[in-house]
Chains A and B, each alone.
Chain A
């Protein structure tokens, strides 16, 4: 038995309940000091809950937390930080207009005189930077930094506060493969300097690449603990879902490929008026899935919006079935586009795709509220709506099976299943899908991928924007890569792999395939 002190973090029968839902059920987690420890699990497996207890956001209902052998009770994140636990959140907690230095010292100024505090912080940071091999522009405003660098600011911020244990929550979700590699190098460096890293992800190849130990969670429980060298991605995937992962449906050859959607030299600006799309041209044919890859924020959002009628183009044109639907001075509204057979699964579900506080039932008609099955003479047909919602819930196995609950109270996967049901119900000729499986658990991922492939096999056109390369590689016929608003190139999926796509995502030109 290792001594208690060898465990950086130990939880004993840690339990957290929300009402009668047990989110964490008697978790006994052992994180060896000086290791990189991975936690994997589907969405809703309880990963966030245990992290939030470790960082003092939630207080456990039972069990205890020990940090380096000492029982700890964190009333708030400040207490957790004082005990040497640092956390890098999925969504960064940075003040964008502040400089790197100011962000790092925020809340830990230590002095009333800010100039003095800045001087001291700068000294301390330079030491830390040297120790861990950082090189951050301390006087640059955070908003000017790329995502990967912002993440480093978060890590340095935690180290500055004396973190011995660093919790990284889905750190690679926003990174390019290259940036991820740099992050892994940093993690190894931290480990070499004696820090402990708790790494939470649902990407199994990352677990295999960087961790020493791995804990698998499912349904609020720990179902397995492995030394990483003794396991495989396949085994972990099985443990996560509790059954063999079904292989994605096969793509069939589809005859008669007409051009469904054609973009020609499309340009558009973002909300700030900066150029976000620069002369993008491509076609989507019936019976194919065109995947759009790229690091978040390289024009994909605007691309989805111009196609679905949510943003005007400033140059070029978009043709649907050969007829121009968007050009400078011409916007076709979303309702008309839907009636032409274009469905839109919004990239940011909660900001665009659903109204969080409304019932799942009410969300069932969002976007289709003017169709005769949901309203007649301006009066809603609530009974028909309830029946439709019930049908979607059953066909998609949405749980819990109660359409009257607010959609915000469903898990991401169940929300997305309902959204897909809503959009696919009218058998659209073109589906424009942003991040089909963001925040969706593995069980639902397979189902959604199958639906995409089935729709394609039925001869329909699909455009899928995703930040997940594995996903695009699994479902696309062709993959287009965007970088800084430019379409870098299009490669057939047979010729695509993570490395070439990664290079293209970083802007390296490639002959269109």
Chain B
């Protein structure tokens, strides 16, 4: 039937998301205007703040890196038919695993410490997702509920460890001791400096590249491998999965562990890339933003990377905006982000039907002419 007819790639993946974001900006603009500010000036400050100078770009991509990891974590689970709300908790435990990995090796071999840190991040993230997955697969405990609960447990666990056993000796803050010297990921300005390019300091680091590799890997895994095919079959149609000899409960567990590992890797960016210690609350809600990123990116790796950059820009540009326009407070920025999520995620179909009808008419006219 015609309803199932596919729109061309560019309409589906570029035009529609653009329309949705524009609609979100339009409504945001009205609110900003109602607050007594010039919406066009606000927009220009936002864009300037996100992309206007080297440091801004660096920060935008630094935030985006977090969102790529957490967005992929939501998306992998989504393709297996699971709504993973637990990215936040999985990222926290990933940070814990990373820190333990780093301190296990210590400062004697920074490279080995980094590798152990990365493995620890993925492993702990995966294990934190394993428990809700197992409860879902074996006992039917709904993954949405259990992953939400696990976020709270993770948060409490991290807080306990960081005011207790893991606290920096003699420190006052809920944070661990610094990683040994040299344990960390290269930042963009370091890298560019090596080839003689001068770039302003920013926390953007090579975990952005690792995130891109993960996105490519997820794409390959889901659409080019048998495992990915079976995972998607399990997610779309449990009956067909059984028919095809695929165990849905096994896929539930595998997909969630993969998702947890991806969310856990967020610590690469935050901890290895910038903070060089485990800080309580370092995830800053990125696990939840990942949900919006995954949906806005239509659960495809390329879309997730683009949506993550958009949200990174909103974070960075928004911070600048509230600095330059004191009337626009932090809450207003959250509102703009909320509107983007609303239009791009929840109301995604607002423009879809009219655009499809218009496109159908244009194509017919084109064919008749």
Q: Contact between B224 and A358 (Cβ–Cβ < 8 Å)?
A: no
Task: Flag if A20 contacts B360 (CB, 8 Å).
Answer: yes
* Inter-chain contact A370/B226, CB cutoff 8 Å: yes
User: Is B227 interfacial (CB-CB < 8 Å)?
Assistant: yes
Interface string of B229-240 (1 = CB under 8 A from A): 110110011011
Q: Is the CB of B244 within 8 A of A366?
A: yes
Residues of the A chain whose Cβ atoms lie less than 8 Å from the Cβ of B139 = none
Which residues of the partner chain B approach A308 to less than 8 Å between Cβ atoms? Answer: 243
Most chain A CB inside 10 Å of its own CB: which residue of B2, B243, B244: B243
**In the complex, what distance in Å separates the CA atom of A405 from the CA atom of B4?**
8
Distance of A229 Cα from B240 Cα, bound (Å): 46
The answer to whether A352 and B229 touch across the interface, beta carbons within 8 angstroms, is: no
A353 to B237: give the CA distance in the assembly, Å.
Answer: 10
Question: Which of the residues B4, B236, B360 comes within 8 Å of A409, measured between beta carbons?
Answer: B4
B354 interface hit (Cβ, 8 Å)? no
Contact A348 B2 (CB under 8 A): no
User: Mask for A351-394, Cβ within 8 A of B = 1, else 0?
Assistant: 11111111000100111011000110011101000000000000
A355 touches B236 (CB 8 A): yes
Cα distance A19–B360 in the bound complex, in angstroms: 6
Instruction: Decide yes or no: A366 and B225 within 8 Å by CB, A21-B1, A334-B244, A352-B240 being known contacts.
Output: no
Known: A20-B364, A378-B225. A358 touches B236 (CB 8 A): yes
Which residue of chain A has its CB nearest to the CB of B359?
A19
A333 adjacent to chain B (CB < 8 Å)? yes
Bound-state Cα–Cα, A505 to B237, Å: 32
Q: Give bound CA distance, A362 to B242, whole Å.
A: 16
Q: Which residues of B contact A358 (CB under 8 A)?
A: 232-233, 236
Residues of B contacting A367 with CB < 8 Å? 243-245
Report the separation of the CA atoms of residues A352 and B237 in the bound assembly, to the nearest whole angstrom.
7
Q: Does A356 contact B237, Cβ atoms closer than 8 Å?
A: yes
Q: Is B244's CB under 8 angstroms from A310's CB?
A: no
Residue of A nearest to B357 (CB): A19
- A201 and B25 CA atoms in complex are apart in Å by 53
> What separation, in Å, do the CA atoms of A3 and B240 have in the docked complex?
54
List residues of chain B with CB within 8 A of the CB of A352.
Answer: 237, 239-240, 242-243
Known contacts A18-B3, A21-B1, A405-B4; A378 and B240 CB within 8 A of each other: no
Q: Give the distance to chain A from B284, nearest Cβ to Cβ, in Å.
A: 35
- Please, which residue of chain B has its CB at the minimum distance from the CB of A411? B1
Contact A380 B224 (CB under 8 A): yes
CB distance from B356 to the nearest CB of A (A): 9
Contact B239 A380, beta carbon cutoff 8 Å: no
Judge if A344 is at the interface, Cβ distance under 8 Å.
Answer: yes
Query: Is A141 interfacial (CB 8 A cutoff)?
Result: no
Contacts A19-B2, A356-B237, A406-B4 given; indicate if A362 touches B229 (C-beta within 8 A).
yes
Q: For residue B240, which residues in chain A have a CB less than 8 angstroms away from its CB?
A: 351-355, 366
Instruction: Note all chain A residues with C-beta closer than 8 A to B243.
Output: 308, 310, 334, 344, 346, 352-353, 366-367
A369 touches B5 (CB 8 A): no
Candidates B227, B237, B363; contact of A378 at CB < 8 Å: B227
Contact of B5 among A17, A362, A409 (CB under 8 A): A409
Query: 6 A-B Cβ contacts within 8 A?
Result: A334-B245, A348-B239, A356-B236, A367-B245, A375-B225, A378-B227
Q: Name 11 extra pairs, CB < 8 A, besides A366-B244, A380-B226.
A: A18-B1, A18-B2, A333-B245, A335-B244, A346-B239, A353-B240, A366-B240, A378-B227, A380-B225, A409-B1, A409-B5
State the 5 A-B residue pairs at the shortest beta-carbon distance, nearest first.
A19-B2, A409-B4, A18-B2, A335-B245, A352-B239
